[in-house]
């Protein structure tokens, strides 16, 4: 069991209209008093951010965007800036999700610029890293994750890094029903903590970066995943779309 308070985040991806989002959040807010030490994060599509921020005002549930522009403002048709996200009440943003990397051509350099923008606007960041099946099978899991971390976090200070959570999401486990075993995940999580400590230099003062796991997390596997050292929470896609199953994931028990 990790020493960090668990972070359980819902990544809705391109799902839910505003009425659907508000209905879900009303149900989540009703159960908030049962969340205990868990930090709950919800990442809806852009269109639902503002109405959700309004209905969540005063609650401890954190609101995240799923993406952010690397530019601050100007002629970038279709993009949304970090300042705009902060303005509508976002607390944090997911950066570098593998779907953004593989479907929309996002490179480590873009990820780095997006993180800088987000931090400057006062947002916290969930930085996603993870290997493809081919990278795992060729023995390149750790080197892939190491590259994504160094390039994604280049020029970040120890103070910047305090505003970052890393999500380890093996690409082969996302939306496939194949979860990394708790052993596979824990190995990479502990590696990520070491690398991020090295990137932050001495400034971390005993703190290690929270690392959450993503990739086919559900009600049936969350307890086992969360019982492992180094697994500080979960980033949940498909199983977060139904309120009941997300609530059961939030309420995981270990040991």
Instruction: Return residues touching ligand PGA (CB under 6 A).
Output: 11, 169, 174-175, 214-217, 235-239
| CB of 166 or CB of 200, closer to ligand PGA | 166
| CB of 53 or CB of 241, closer to ligand PGA | 241
Q: Cα-flanking dihedrals φ and ψ of residue 197, to 5°?
A: -60, -40
Nearest residue to ligand PGA by CB is: 237
| CB of 25 or CB of 212, closer to ligand PGA | 212
Annotated active-site residue in 50, 169, 189, 244: 169
- Nearest-angstrom CA–CA distance, 255 and 242: 26
Can 189 be counted among the known catalytic residues? no
Q: Minimum distance from CB of 155 to ligand PGA (Å)? A: 26
Can 169 be counted among the known catalytic residues? yes
Q: Minimum distance from CB of 104 to ligand PGA (Å)? A: 14
Q: Minimum distance from CB of 169 to ligand PGA (Å)? A: 6
- Nearest-angstrom CA–CA distance, 130 and 116: 20
- Of 6, 65, 23, 7, which Cα lies nearest the Cα of 241? 23
| CB of 126 or CB of 200, closer to ligand PGA | 126
Pairing of strands 39-43, 62-65: parallel
Q: Within 10 Å of residue 242's Cβ, how many Cβ atoms?
A: 12
Long-range Cβ pairs for the range 37-41 (8 Å, 24+)? 37/5, 37/6, 38/5, 38/6, 38/7, 38/8, 38/250, 39/5, 39/6, 39/7, 39/8, 39/233, 40/8, 40/9, 40/10, 40/250, 41/7, 41/8, 41/9, 41/10, 41/91, 41/92, 41/126
Annotated active-site residue in 97, 99, 106, 131: 97
| CB of 153 or CB of 235, closer to ligand PGA | 235
Catalytic residues: 97, 169
């Amino acid at each position: 069991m990790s020493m960090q308070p668990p972070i359980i985040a819902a990544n809705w991806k391109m799902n839910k209209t505003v009425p659907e989002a508000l209905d879900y959040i009303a149900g989540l807010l009703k159960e908030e008093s049962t969340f205990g030490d868990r930090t709950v994060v919800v990442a809806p599509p852009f269109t639902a951010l503002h109405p959700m921020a309004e209905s969540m005002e005063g609650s401890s549930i954190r609101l995240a965007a799923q993406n952010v522009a690397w530019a601050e403002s100007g002629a970038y048709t279709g993009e949304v800036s970090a300042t705009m996200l902060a303005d509508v009440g976002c607390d944090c943003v997911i950066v570098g999700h593998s779907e953004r990397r593989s479907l929309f051509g996002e490179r480590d350099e873009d990820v780095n610029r997006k993180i800088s923008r987000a931090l400057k606007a006062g947002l916290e960041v969930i930085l996603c890293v993870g290997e493809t099946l081919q990278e795992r099978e060729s023995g390149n899991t750790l080197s892939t994750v190491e590259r994504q971390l160094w390039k994604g976090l280049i020029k970040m200070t120890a103070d910047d890094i305090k505003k970052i959570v890393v999500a380890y999401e093996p690409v082969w486990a996302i939306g496939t029903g194949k979860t990394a075993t708790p052993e596979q995940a824990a190995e990479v999580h502990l590696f990520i903590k070491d690398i991020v400590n090295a990137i932050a230099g001495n400034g971390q003062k005993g703190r290690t970066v929270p690392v959450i796991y993503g990739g086919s997390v559900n009600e049936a596997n969350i307890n086992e995943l969360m019982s492992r050292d180094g697994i500080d929470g979960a980033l949940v896609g498909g199983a977060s779309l139904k309120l009941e199953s997300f609530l059961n994931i939030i309420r995981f028990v270990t040991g």
